[in-house]
Structure 1
Amino acid sequence: MSKSVTKQIANEVDDVFDDVVHNLKKLAKHLGEDTTDALSRTATSVAHSAIELIEDAKAQTKVIAETAGKEAREHPAATAAATAAMVAAAVGLIGLAVAHRRKPAA
């Protein structure tokens, strides 16, 4: 996995996390304006907790992407073998799904 691919993946994950955090903050602000009932207070609390969780996940994703890129550069043969195994597994699962769909219903 090249550095540019690793950076691209990390940037795309960051964008998704940023969108989710933005929407959760809007939700929390909207709910925060009228937290007179227990459900609204709970939803606001959940939104704030989710924001914290996503921000932690975002930081961890950067570390994982950097580590994966480093490992792929250090062990290209193992990376190629793992990729081939994943492709073979995906093809096998697709084949199984196609075979399953072709079976007549009992």
Structure 2
Amino acid sequence: MGRFRGRFQNWKTPVYSAPHVHPLEMGPDFSHADGRPIYVTSRIQLEYKEDQLRLAKKIVELLSEVNEMEAAHKQAESRRILEAQELDAHRPKSKGTRSIA
């Protein structure tokens, strides 16, 4: 083997490599007209569907956490506004706005 120019490092694992997925393993490309379910035909297809379900559950869980954080932020913001209004109510007001001269 000759010397390679540039960055050729085959001993390192790549940062990202796209998975090779056969089109027929993703799912059947047909559906029944009467609405009957289409069954899983391979182990790879079953693992793919289970992984998609796991991802969907994780997304729903994380979205609920985001909604909780948004609600807590709104409560904290309204509490801060109320405290600022109470502070302004106790602060002495300036009596005159016009100058004498």
TM-score range, shorter chain: 0.3 to 0.5
- Relative to the length of structure 2, the TM-score reads 0.37
Where relative contact order (Cα < 8 A, 6+ residues apart) is larger, the structure is 1
Say which structure is richer in helix: 1
Larger Rg: 2
